[in-house]
Amino acid sequence: MDILRGERLSEFSDEAANYTSSIDSDKFLVSPTIKINKAHILMLVKKGIIDQREGFSCIKALEEIPKEMEMDPKLEDVHMNVEALVVKEVGENIGGQLNLAKSRNDQVATAIRMTLREFILDISSAIIRLREAILQKCKEHLDTVMPGYTHLQHAQPVTLAHHLLAHHDSLMRDEERLTGVYERVNLSPMGACALATTGFEIDRVMVSELLGFDGLVENSIDAVSTRDFAVEAISNLAILMTDLSRFAEELIFWSSHEFSIVEMPDEYASTSSIMPQKKNPVVVELVRAKTSNVYGNLLASLSILKALPYSYNLDLQELTHHIWDACQTALSTLDIFAHMLKKMKFNTKRLLELAQSEMSTATELADTIVRELGIPFRTAHRIVGLLVRRALADDKSLDRVVKEDLDGIVKATTRKGIHIPNEAKQKALDTIENVKIRSVRGGPSPKEVARMLKQRSNALKNYNWVSKKREALKISHDRLAEEISKLKEVVDV
Amino acid sequence: MDILRGERLSEFSDEAANYTSSIDSDKFLVSPTIKINKAHILMLVKKGIIDQREGFSCIKALEEIPKEMEMDPKLEDVHMNVEALVVKEVGENIGGQLNLAKSRNDQVATAIRMTLREFILDISSAIIRLREAILQKCKEHLDTVMPGYTHLQHAQPVTLAHHLLAHHDSLMRDEERLTGVYERVNLSPMGACALATTGFEIDRVMVSELLGFDGLVENSIDAVSTRDFAVEAISNLAILMTDLSRFAEELIFWSSHEFSIVEMPDEYASTSSIMPQKKNPVVVELVRAKTSNVYGNLLASLSILKALPYSYNLDLQELTHHIWDACQTALSTLDIFAHMLKKMKFNTKRLLELAQSEMSTATELADTIVRELGIPFRTAHRIVGLLVRRALADDKSLDRVVKEDLDGIVKATTRKGIHIPNEAKQKALDTIENVKIRSVRGGPSPKEVARMLKQRSNALKNYNWVSKKREALKISHDRLAEEISKLKEVVDV
Amino acid sequence: MDILRGERLSEFSDEAANYTSSIDSDKFLVSPTIKINKAHILMLVKKGIIDQREGFSCIKALEEIPKEMEMDPKLEDVHMNVEALVVKEVGENIGGQLNLAKSRNDQVATAIRMTLREFILDISSAIIRLREAILQKCKEHLDTVMPGYTHLQHAQPVTLAHHLLAHHDSLMRDEERLTGVYERVNLSPMGACALATTGFEIDRVMVSELLGFDGLVENSIDAVSTRDFAVEAISNLAILMTDLSRFAEELIFWSSHEFSIVEMPDEYASTSSIMPQKKNPVVVELVRAKTSNVYGNLLASLSILKALPYSYNLDLQELTHHIWDACQTALSTLDIFAHMLKKMKFNTKRLLELAQSEMSTATELADTIVRELGIPFRTAHRIVGLLVRRALADDKSLDRVVKEDLDGIVKATTRKGIHIPNEAKQKALDTIENVKIRSVRGGPSPKEVARMLKQRSNALKNYNWVSKKREALKISHDRLAEEISKLKEVVDV
Amino acid sequence: MDILRGERLSEFSDEAANYTSSIDSDKFLVSPTIKINKAHILMLVKKGIIDQREGFSCIKALEEIPKEMEMDPKLEDVHMNVEALVVKEVGENIGGQLNLAKSRNDQVATAIRMTLREFILDISSAIIRLREAILQKCKEHLDTVMPGYTHLQHAQPVTLAHHLLAHHDSLMRDEERLTGVYERVNLSPMGACALATTGFEIDRVMVSELLGFDGLVENSIDAVSTRDFAVEAISNLAILMTDLSRFAEELIFWSSHEFSIVEMPDEYASTSSIMPQKKNPVVVELVRAKTSNVYGNLLASLSILKALPYSYNLDLQELTHHIWDACQTALSTLDIFAHMLKKMKFNTKRLLELAQSEMSTATELADTIVRELGIPFRTAHRIVGLLVRRALADDKSLDRVVKEDLDGIVKATTRKGIHIPNEAKQKALDTIENVKIRSVRGGPSPKEVARMLKQRSNALKNYNWVSKKREALKISHDRLAEEISKLKEVVDV
């Protein structure tokens, strides 16, 4: 007989069993579910609610369940599969206590939080590794001058280190956000039972601590109803992937023939089944595309929760796989991005050539006019605009029209016979010089970027958030094992 | 050696192979890919581009590939796996011709369209079956009076048949939309090759016809770049699921204790692991939740395509699994909905009781005042509003305040001593009568609903869109087989 | 006193009035709402439900309402504002009949459909104009050879006409889809009243015809509940915008210094407030960004409808502005795109230079090896891969390694001393020749593209869907005016 | 002449000006833009980059700009409009310095952050007020027993205070999340200029402090490229709205005739234009629907950012109005929800009646069997399942079948003649008793809920995050004013 439906309902149709089964996404929950059961039984024993020997038998049976256990969809989910295995092992007389003073509603919320916190730690570590890879590239390219782009047009010269560091800094915030999520994830719903706790005198705090949580989701209705923590996690992963997609897009452009800025490592490129000359940046294309998948995960999750009355509804089950999808996508993307980046080759010669080919020193030229002639910026901006127009019309370089036409235009505009020293003109038009003098806080000058790099490198050296969290989890893990050992001793006597 | 990368690129990393592999969603493409290869080879033979014997050997090798073939992720996708199997079977000298004058880019677009058209036909059939199930329920409940709701408040009495028919009619449009999609799906990209067709004198129309397409996606760049047909299909499935979610939502609260309107069949309900009395409408909950998944599929697909330059980019690969997800969700939901609906029991007594319990005849009362007293509707609306307010304040029924207060209020409002005959009052306040007199086109009166039912039933009887499409596909399928037989004969001689 | 709340409810709070008011999006509904009222009153008169003179007074009052009428948010929406104006004009004794046998629920659904059908016709016309602009550019660039891209890498040479035509063809389908939507939009809900029709013997078909509809949304519950037609429209606009965003993306990087393929017209570009040399392709950037806005409209609309029980709920009101937003975005984008495209200048010299600069003739070289030496494609693909690798390693052109190394590699690979005639080699490596020989249906050869162009141009010349629809609307519009004239005559007597 | 395009570009088309203008969403940026200009000019003066008198003239002109200033769309945005006004006031010779060493790119990012931080503070305050309103209701309903729902089915009895507190607690986390966002919002991009800082020796920290920021977005490319802070804010508002939508959905159900649990205040309900008896919970319907609008804002924002190369692109402009939309929706929803909730009346009699009407004590009965008979939970669960089935089949109450059948079933199941004392049975079946004994941490017992209430009330009393942040902003605001006064004195001398 079906341990769950018992005598209450006639048999579930196969079709309904398949339609409603959560077995696929529950594979991420096997290990935490077993652990929760162990902690829960231990608590029941310690509180004198169930017998020591029976409790220990249950725990022993739980410990024998393989992590890769086969699940029967007819039993709906991991929770009933685990219970069925225990009952099979030790009989219903003992195993039938497993669900005393708990429910699938609190248990699944707890298990999801346990798996998600591991993912958050893994993803945080992966962000750190990618940041390290970026900083390494920055160190190699402190002096690599390149065009800075706005609107995909050359704007002003910067360096590759400066540019890559911008990506690093957005990852810094992505990681920071995850630490906030972790705080709201690592809270225990256990003991909320179906929604109203229980009449048995359980100890929710004990279970929470044995499972490594930092506190409770206190109100029991809230505990089983909310998935805000999951949506928050997914939305932060969506932002992370968005940041990566922007970097990926640049790499796609940069590996085009027209840009020729970057050479993708062979190991991360593919060719064509028909065009033998092709070398396609497939990995970064998929970084871009998989970002959209995470948007899908986010939107689906929000839409599942919208207008869902309290407390537990089965709709929540459909949200779970979106968490795993988003986490796996983020994790694998971060990893491959870091490996790939390390092997990428940037064409520094081409970058300088590009930086010098357009008129990206025009701003500095306008600034120089302001400084040298004491005329307002907007007037200088207009004067340079005129030079640019003339350069384009006559197909001349900016340098040449400056030499030929600047003084005349200044005179015509300001009606004063004032001149800019040639040296100042030259400096303004020198791409490398343009970069050097932008030594303001956060600017592209190699000196300032070197300072920022050092500061970030030191921060990474001192980074220990993940290891501290892992240590805390380890301590609670060990304590649970120890308590079980103690129980074993007591029982064995 | 890697048949694809050949001598061009050094080896793909395992990580990149896993990250970029489309093997999972390609399992839906095995059968069409094999068929496309057969049709393509046949065309090459007929056009004299490859040798008859060699062509036939390829086709024979293709026919031996099992539909459940194992795929190696290192070979990236189904296309290279199929080619590798053929080469293994007949050697590269012959099998190496398989990709002559075609590419993965046109082939995958073609295969997706072939699988999707089957899904559309299956889903259309499933819609028809659900519509039949609804019409059957309508027939049983022509006279089942129930409260019609607006804002989830009782508005005016209708019948269950009338209400269910509204859901039927939205499914009618859902199906209609799919026939439009089918027209744009069932077009052949084959022969576009990578993006620019080929210098070989292939016959795109011949291949298209052998594969059952109704025409070409003519421009070869368009043919490999577009996935509009897929997004269109998914968006229509999102609308379909939305319609089902609205029906599902009603069934969820109709099966609540408070409504007690419907009894879910045991086979489609589950109980609780902790609360033995529970009977949860889990299937309809998941219909609701899975709707959000399709929104996720839709949004991810749109976002993948947004701002994607022409022609083929690997991003398109990530779109494919969203098509299959959406199709499978829609198909399984339609099927289970039809089966479940057939076994649902509606509580007709409760429905009538609810219809009579609130003041849902108030509109008819106002209309009657207009008719009987010749005063304008807005005034009558206000008079009835006053009656309602008094009924609520004094906790009386509408019937009673009509009897006690109507004449007085009319007098006070109109300053005329006019009366409504008692019979007219009674009729206006009679719930069943209210339904009967609403016999306007599309209204709830049993007579009018019966007329609509008959019209819809006849339409379903004459429905043959799916069978006609299937027949057309069958004819082309047979023709391909026949052509291969003929080739066999020629070769065997 | 509040004409709507009458005696039923005490006063609405200002806060609630503001929160729930739909005045903003109702400005699109003023004109259809007035027209619906006229047709409805006319029908009531003709059916003898209201007095001729009173009916005519209402109609006259309706005709005096200015299209830009001021709306009072306290009256919730356009419907109550119109009624209030009429009542103010002709008194409640007459104007109070305006809402007899109808409701805001059917009226708003009807008005939305009337405005939306106009938008669909406008958008379809705008698509046609953009298609014309594209075809014009195609005509100018039949022989403009350019690199065809896959994965943003040079793949095979095509022509600009061939490439632009791909965009044209996707717009062709976008327009086709809208004609399907129109069929489902142009159906009349009028007469459904709140949800259950009415006890008055109204004629729904008469109203439908007077308003230019092609039929009814028959079931009255369906008529007021569904917004599937709106979501369908928005989703098709989302696909349309997606197609435009892909074109826009290409224009953004084609106007970069690195590509230098296109020169944006000054009128559609902006400069920088700080960098005087900048010329930013701002319009196409916003085409790209506004596409996302339509995704937001689509998703919000779906999410509003999800799990919304029948029949009318106020949630539907929040959907309406998403329709107008999406329509306005699509319409303005199509218009500006067409105008901008006409003035764009493509750099044909640069395009040819790019087409010749990479090894995009490699496929044709492999095909030639197949043809000339009778070896299988996969082997030829590998031979060319080897040549490409050598060219890259030694920094030589493909032409040169073909000359120097091809025969040797063929010999090493096939172990046969076979040769390809020099003429065939030359032809294979000639970019322009590559384009010419791809004359397969849908291919880039100027001849084939010219054929396609002619076919599309003819199709546009014969295009009359919009004008036919507009004519049908005009006829019904005139008939309504005529019927009102007749009534005037009768009344004036 | 156009101050912006100057001599560089010929005139912008009207169409392009309208298409690209951000005037609408810029109205939120007027005040911060003026302030930024003042702080920037002050810094330039203090750093000796511009003349004191000229600087002061600019500041004076800035102070005269009205907050409701008219903006000309031809000038593209608020930045150029402000500059134009200043130039108009003091001439280009002085006003033309306004954009020296800054750009629209850093300025707009800064202004958005300044407006957003105000919204975050306002929204946080509104959350606090709604939490207070909920806690007040909780205090009134500590003993109001109601059915706790899972799957919208009666599960176990809880109290209204317990249930409402669950909503409070989710708002607690919503507020917590916003404090994290604030940290990442309140950082200054100023001084990044277009993307590469400037050659002038500006002081970014001084400007940051004068504007009340807590630090810099240091890397200048990052500073103008990122909008992660905005998406983070919107995603948190989407979660907040989701939480409110769940509460709203319950209130919609609860105000139905069938539930009759809550009476909406008239001021927050509307009636029907046709059905005079209707009282529609329109505000909560719109809370539900507007939640979807915020999803639209979120998705559109993510999709705008996806794959957007660094640094500034005009796409970012389209993201801005989504921020304001989401903030305004959240703010107005929180406010109206709090006001409405205060006036809602809960029907305590009906709640108790519902709690007692179904078999929601079944879990406690099973627990009692476990306790009293020492049999395992799963067996007890099955026994109660059998009782439930019998009660349903025979249409008896659970009380009655317990009395009649429990002992027999226990005997049949356990094959032991064991009995449960009548008193224990009675207690298990008593709804109010069920609630009382669930006094575990977070459970529904009035004592435990009172404890939680007290803790939350105290927390609110001590809440000062918003006031501390406002104070910090006030201090910097005053300092800016003071510095300007000082400059005035110097200049006036």
| B283 in contact with chain A, both atoms CB, cutoff 8 A | yes
Distance in angstroms (rounded) separating the CA atoms of residues A145 and A434:
10
Distance in angstroms (rounded) separating the CA atoms of residues B217 and B197:
12
Q: Specify the range with the lowest mean pLDDT, choosing from A237-241, B328-332, B440-444, C76-80.
A: C76-80
Cβ–Cβ gap D97/A378 under 8 Å: yes
On whether the CB atoms of residues A54 and A94 are closer than 8 A, the answer is yes
D218 and D343 together in one domain = yes
Cβ–Cβ gap A274/C381 under 8 Å: yes
Distance in angstroms (rounded) separating the CA atoms of residues A254 and A267:
18
Number of A–D residue contacts, CB under 8 Å: 397
Q: Which of left, alpha, beta for D44 (phi over 0: left; psi -120 to 50: alpha)?
A: alpha
On whether the CB atoms of residues D184 and D172 are closer than 8 A, the answer is no
pLDDT digits (tens, 9 = 90+) for A162-190: 999 999 999 999 999 999 999 999 999 99
Contacts of B192 (CB under 8 A, 6+ apart): B103, B105, B106, B109, B217, B220, B221, B223, B224, C442
Q: Which residues of A touch D286 (CB under 8 A)?
A: none
As given in the structure block, the two tokens for residue A406 are 């600047």
| B280 in contact with chain A, both atoms CB, cutoff 8 A | yes
On whether the CB atoms of residues D110 and D102 are closer than 8 A, the answer is no
Cβ–Cβ gap B285/D252 under 8 Å: no
Can you give the pLDDT at residue D3?
62
Distance in angstroms (rounded) separating the CA atoms of residues B4 and B80:
7
Among candidate residues D195, D185, D31, the one with its CA nearest the CA of residue D104: D195
| A257 in contact with chain C, both atoms CB, cutoff 8 A | yes
A171 and A239 together in one domain = yes
- The answer for C 34-73 residues in CB contact with B (under 8 A) is none
Distance in angstroms (rounded) separating the CA atoms of residues D410 and D407:
5
Instruction: Give the phi and the psi of residue B145 in degrees, each rounded to 5.
Output: -75, 140
Cβ–Cβ gap C278/A303 under 8 Å: no
Q: Which residues of C touch A150 (CB under 8 A)?
A: 272, 275, 278, 280
Cβ–Cβ gap C360/A388 under 8 Å: no
Contacts of B226 (CB under 8 A, 6+ apart): B217, C170, C173
> Which is catalytic among the residues C10, C13, C151, C257?
C151
| Comparison of pLDDT for A3 and D415, the residue scoring more | D415
Distance in angstroms (rounded) separating the CA atoms of residues A358 and C276:
12
The radius of gyration of chain A from alpha carbons, rounded to an integer in Å, stands at 31
C363 and C329 together in one domain = no
On whether the CB atoms of residues A172 and A463 are closer than 8 A, the answer is no
pLDDT digits (tens, 9 = 90+) for B326-349: 999 999 999 999 999 999 999 999
Chain A residue with the nearest C-alpha to that of C360:
A277
Distance from CA of D177 to the nearest CA of C (A): 23
Cβ–Cβ gap B268/A16 under 8 Å: yes
Domain ends where: A410, A431, A452? A431
Domain count, chain B: 3
Task: Please name the member of D273, D280, D299 whose beta carbon is closest to the beta carbon of B153.
Answer: D280
D51 and D66 together in one domain = yes
On whether the CB atoms of residues B321 and B232 are closer than 8 A, the answer is no
> Which is catalytic among the residues D10, D13, D151, D273?
D151
CB neighbourhood size of D460 (10 A): 14
- Judged by DSSP in three states, D482 sits in helix
When pLDDT is averaged across residues A410-423 and rounded to a whole number, the result is 85
Task: Please name the member of B285, B354, B363 whose beta carbon is closest to the beta carbon of D151.
Answer: B285
- Assign A7 a pLDDT band (cuts: 50, 70, 90): low
Residue B473 lies in a domain: no
As given in the structure block, the two tokens for residue D438 are 């669930």
On whether the CB atoms of residues D351 and D262 are closer than 8 A, the answer is no
When pLDDT is averaged across residues B247-262 and rounded to a whole number, the result is 97
Number of C–D residue contacts, CB under 8 Å: 202
When pLDDT is averaged across residues B380-397 and rounded to a whole number, the result is 89
On whether the CB atoms of residues B99 and A273 are closer than 8 A, the answer is yes
Instruction: Report the share of chain A in percent with pLDDT over 70.
Output: 98
C74 and C177 together in one domain = no
- The answer for A 102-161 residues in CB contact with C (under 8 A) is 147, 150-156
Enclosing H/E stretch for B146: strand B145-150
Q: Which residues of B are catalytic?
A: 151, 272
Rounded to the nearest 10°, the torsion over CA C364, C365, C370, C376 is -90
> Does residue C301 carry a catalytic annotation?
no
**CATH number of the CATH domain containing D387:** 1.10.40.30
Distance in angstroms (rounded) separating the CA atoms of residues A59 and A95:
10
Residue C423 lies in a domain: yes
**CATH number of the CATH domain containing B34:** 1.10.275.10
Can you give the pLDDT at residue B413?
85
Cβ–Cβ gap A314/B80 under 8 Å: no
Q: Which of B146, B149, B152 to mutate to test the interface with D (most CBs of D within 10 A)?
A: B152
Cβ–Cβ gap C444/B220 under 8 Å: yes
Sign of CA dihedral B72, B78, B83, B89: positive
**Average pLDDT across chain C, whole number:** 94
| D361 in contact with chain A, both atoms CB, cutoff 8 A | no
Distance from CA of C330 to the nearest CA of D (A): 12
A170 and A51 together in one domain = no
Enclosing H/E stretch for C47: none
pLDDT exceeds 60 at position A1? no
On whether the CB atoms of residues A204 and D442 are closer than 8 A, the answer is yes
DSSP lists the bridge partners of residue C121 as none
The radius of gyration of chain D from alpha carbons, rounded to an integer in Å, stands at 31
Domain that holds residue A398: 359-431
Question: DSSP code of B219?
Answer: S
Amino acid at D47: K
Can you give the pLDDT at residue D311?
94
**CATH number of the CATH domain containing C350:** 1.20.200.10
Q: Which residues of D touch B398 (CB under 8 A)?
A: 277
pLDDT exceeds 70 at position B2? no
When pLDDT is averaged across residues B374-398 and rounded to a whole number, the result is 89
Can you give the pLDDT at residue B414?
82
On whether the CB atoms of residues C286 and D19 are closer than 8 A, the answer is yes
Distance from CA of C201 to the nearest CA of D (A): 17
Contacts of C201 (CB under 8 A, 6+ apart): B440, C47, C49
Distance in angstroms (rounded) separating the CA atoms of residues C68 and C83:
16
D336 and D272 together in one domain = yes
CA B353 to chain centre: 35
Distance in angstroms (rounded) separating the CA atoms of residues B395 and D15:
63
Residue B462 lies in a domain: no
pLDDT exceeds 60 at position D238? yes
pLDDT exceeds 90 at position C465? yes
Can you give the pLDDT at residue B171?
98
Helix H, strand E, coil C: the string for chain A is: CCCCCCCCCCCCCHHHHHHHCCHHHHCCCHHHHHHHHHHHHHHHHHCCCCCHHHHHHHHHHHHCCCCCCCCCHHHCCHHHHHHHHHHHHHCHHHHCCCCCCCCHHHHHHHHHHHHHHHHHHHHHHHHHHHHHHHHHHHHHCCCCEEEEEECCEEEEEEEHHHHHHHHHHHHHHHHHHHHHHHHHHCCECCCCCCCCCCCCCCCHHHHHHHCCCCCECCCHHHHHHCCHHHHHHHHHHHHHHHHHHHHHHHHHHHCCCCCCCEECCHHHCECCCCCCCCCECHHHHHHHHHHHHHHHHHHHHHHHHCCCCCCCCCHHHHHHHHHHHHHHHHHHHHHHHHHHHHHCEECHHHHHHHHHHCCCCHHHHHHHHHHHHCCCHHHHHHHHHHHHHHHHHHCCCHHHHHHHHHHHHHHHHHCCCCCCCHHHHHHHHCHHHHHHHCCCCCCCCHHHHHHHHHHHHHHHHCCCHHHHHHHHHHHHHHHHHHHHHHHHHHHHC
Residue C63 lies in a domain: yes
Distance in angstroms (rounded) separating the CA atoms of residues A280 and C149:
11
Residue D440 lies in a domain: no
Distance from CA of C44 to the nearest CA of A (A): 41
B326 and B304 together in one domain = yes
pLDDT digits (tens, 9 = 90+) for C70-104: 888 888 889 989 999 999 999 988 998 898 999 99
Chains that touch C (3 or more CB pairs under 8 A): A, B, D
- The answer for B 209-238 residues in CB contact with C (under 8 A) is 216-226, 228, 231-232, 235-236, 238
pLDDT exceeds 50 at position A325? yes
Chains that touch B (3 or more CB pairs under 8 A): A, C, D
pLDDT digits (tens, 9 = 90+) for C379-419: 898 899 889 888 888 989 889 999 999 999 988 888 777 78
Task: Please name the member of C8, C194, C388 whose beta carbon is closest to the beta carbon of B150.
Answer: C194
pLDDT digits (tens, 9 = 90+) for A95-129: 988 989 999 999 999 999 999 999 999 999 999 99
Q: Which residues of B touch C453 (CB under 8 A)?
A: none
Among candidate residues A146, C53, C79, D254, the one with its CA nearest the CA of residue B253: D254
Domain ends where: A380, A410, A431? A431
Chain A residue with the nearest C-alpha to that of D96:
A378
Q: Which residues of D touch C193 (CB under 8 A)?
A: 274
Distance in angstroms (rounded) separating the CA atoms of residues D68 and D66:
5
Distance in angstroms (rounded) separating the CA atoms of residues C106 and D314:
42
- Judged by DSSP in three states, C150 sits in strand
When pLDDT is averaged across residues B147-172 and rounded to a whole number, the result is 97
Distance in angstroms (rounded) separating the CA atoms of residues B159 and B435:
7
When pLDDT is averaged across residues D164-182 and rounded to a whole number, the result is 98
Tell me the CB-side half-sphere exposure of residue D79, using CA atoms within 13 A: 22
pLDDT exceeds 60 at position C1? no
D65 and D120 together in one domain = no
| B290 in contact with chain A, both atoms CB, cutoff 8 A | yes
Can you give the pLDDT at residue D325?
98
On whether the CB atoms of residues D438 and D445 are closer than 8 A, the answer is yes
pLDDT exceeds 90 at position B49? yes
Cβ–Cβ gap B279/A8 under 8 Å: yes
- The answer for D 399-458 residues in CB contact with C (under 8 A) is none
Q: Per residue in B391-409, is it b (16+ CB within 10 Å) or e — as a string?
A: bbeeebebbebbeebbeeb
> Which is catalytic among the residues C22, C57, C141, C272?
C272
As given in the structure block, the two tokens for residue B477 are 């399928």
pTM of the model: 0.97
pLDDT exceeds 80 at position C105? yes
B338 and B290 together in one domain = yes
pLDDT exceeds 70 at position D314? yes
Residue B457 lies in a domain: no
| A165 in contact with chain D, both atoms CB, cutoff 8 A | yes
C145 and C228 together in one domain = yes
Can you give the pLDDT at residue A300?
98
- Assign D334 a pLDDT band (cuts: 50, 70, 90): very high
Can you give the pLDDT at residue B6?
62
Residue D121 lies in a domain: yes
pLDDT digits (tens, 9 = 90+) for A337-395: 999 999 999 999 999 999 999 888 988 999 999 999 988 888 898 899 889 888 888 98
| A356 in contact with chain C, both atoms CB, cutoff 8 A | no
D118 and D241 together in one domain = yes
Question: DSSP code of C152?
Answer: T
Can you give the pLDDT at residue B1?
46
When pLDDT is averaged across residues D418-440 and rounded to a whole number, the result is 93
When pLDDT is averaged across residues B4-13 and rounded to a whole number, the result is 74
CB neighbourhood size of C432 (10 A): 14
Residue written as tokens 């290891």? Answer: A467
The question of ipTM being above 0.85 is answered as yes
DSSP lists the bridge partners of residue B153 as B150
Distance in angstroms (rounded) separating the CA atoms of residues A125 and A335:
10
Q: Which residues of C touch D316 (CB under 8 A)?
A: 289
- Assign D2 a pLDDT band (cuts: 50, 70, 90): low
| Comparison of pLDDT for B332 and D362, the residue scoring more | B332
Sign of CA dihedral B44, B49, B52, B57: negative
CB neighbourhood size of D403 (10 A): 15
Q: Which residues of C touch A359 (CB under 8 A)?
A: 277
pLDDT exceeds 80 at position A275? no
Domain ends where: A431, A463, A480? A431
Contacts of A470 (CB under 8 A, 6+ apart): A121
Rounded to the nearest 10°, the torsion over CA A295, A300, A305, A307 is 110
Among candidate residues B325, B326, B398, the one with its CA nearest the CA of residue B361: B398
Chains that touch D (3 or more CB pairs under 8 A): A, B, C
Residue B58 lies in a domain: yes
Question: DSSP code of C219?
Answer: S
Can you give the pLDDT at residue D1?
46
